Amino acid sequence: MPTYLSGIQPSGLQHIGNYFGAIRQHIALQEEAGEHFYFIADFHALTSVRDPEELRTYTRETAVAYLALGLDPEKAVLWRQSDVPEVHEIAWLLATQCGMGLLERAHSYKDKTAQGIKPSVGLFTYPILMAADILAYDSTHVPVGKDQVQHLEMTQDMAGYFNNHYGEVFVRPECLLASTKQAQKVVGLDGQKMSKSYGNTIWIFEEGKKLKKIINKIVTDSRPPEEPKNPDELFLFDTMSLFMEADKVNEWKEKVRAGGEGAPGYGHLKGAIYEAMEAYFAPARERRKELLADPAEVDRILAAGAEKARARACEVRARAFTACGLR
């Protein structure tokens, strides 16, 4: 029986890029036969979030987001990474077998240092803790986007190093790469990939005037409505396609392509996106409000998830300790 696992960092409020890129797939996967483990990577978030209150807030908001968007605690295990300290013991075992060269080749590390981020030891060894997160639960399938494939390959390598030396201890996980249809690339307000680090995001649960104001920030040019335009060059339609059926999006595209009197301006397109997004996330927003009004229930779900996750991690840790002579 397959075991699916993934994690998400509480490094900020979850935006629509997080939803269409990962969260939606995680929730859909819980309907597949097998075990499902999803954790909130609060230890990983320490490489970028340094304010304690912010980290606590973002961690709870991430848990609430998953639950509001449809994660069922009866079908999937949800917990905080920091509630399972055994992963750090497993991470150390992996570190004793992992060469420096593997970590130096990590794309995420090189990208962040290229952006001028001062590297910490935690940022450098991030892939080892991520590997421990995966291997601690005997995960067989890890859903990832294309930008995370290297981390999964590094996990496979680390499991191989340890197993080659001590025997078959860790299960070698396989990459579950989402299709383009499953995981849509989400463009930010400025046309770049939507990312918290770029400050170009739209929070999943934003609503009303605030949402309208944010959508109005989507960058456009100064061409008048009547001027015919190529809709494929307007990333407004990338956002619109997330929330509307294809035939409806095509109707808007044809009007823009034709131009002339009565053609929609950018304001009309942004208004249509606002209405579609309001409707799309309306049920989840209501569920979120219910969860925030009952914090004890969220705590109960996370505690129950941590108990299940820790039981599995303890089994794997014991197996690894015995193999390398610590027991």
Q: What is the pLDDT of residue 181?
A: 54
Q: Name the residue with tokens 């680090």.
A: 197
Domains of the chain: 3-185+295-324 (3.40.50.620), 205-288 (1.10.240.10)
Task: Choose, from 75, 110, 112, 248, the residue flagged as catalytic.
Answer: 112
pTM reported for the whole predicted model: 0.93
35-40 β-sheet, strand order: 77-80, 35-40, 3-8, 141-144, 174-177
Residue 308: active-site member = no
Query: Catalytic annotation on 209?
Result: no
Phi and psi angles of residue 39, each rounded to the nearest 5 degrees, phi first: -120, 155
CA dihedral 148, 153, 155, 160 (to 10 degrees): 180
**3-class DSSP state for residue 4?**
strand
Q: Determine the Cα–Cα distance for residues 245 and 8; give it in Å rounded to an integer.
A: 28
Q: What is the pLDDT along the chain (327 residues), one digit of tens a residue?
A: 899 999 999 999 999 999 999 999 999 999 999 999 999 999 999 988 999 999 999 999 999 999 999 999 999 999 999 999 999 999 999 999 999 999 989 887 887 777 777 788 998 999 999 999 999 999 999 998 777 889 899 999 999 999 999 999 999 999 998 765 556 679 999 999 998 878 999 999 999 999 999 999 999 999 999 999 999 999 999 999 999 999 999 999 999 999 999 899 999 999 999 999 999 999 999 999 999 999 999 999 999 999 999 999 999 999 999 999 997
Candidate list 75, 181, 196, 229, residue with the active-site label: 196
* SS3 annotation, 255-298: HHHHCCCCCCCHHHHHHHHHHHHHHHHHHHHHHHHHHHCCHHHH
Q: Does the annotation mark 193 as catalytic?
A: yes
> How many other CB atoms sit within 10 Å of the CB of residue 283?
12
Catalytic residue among 193, 212, 229, 255: 193
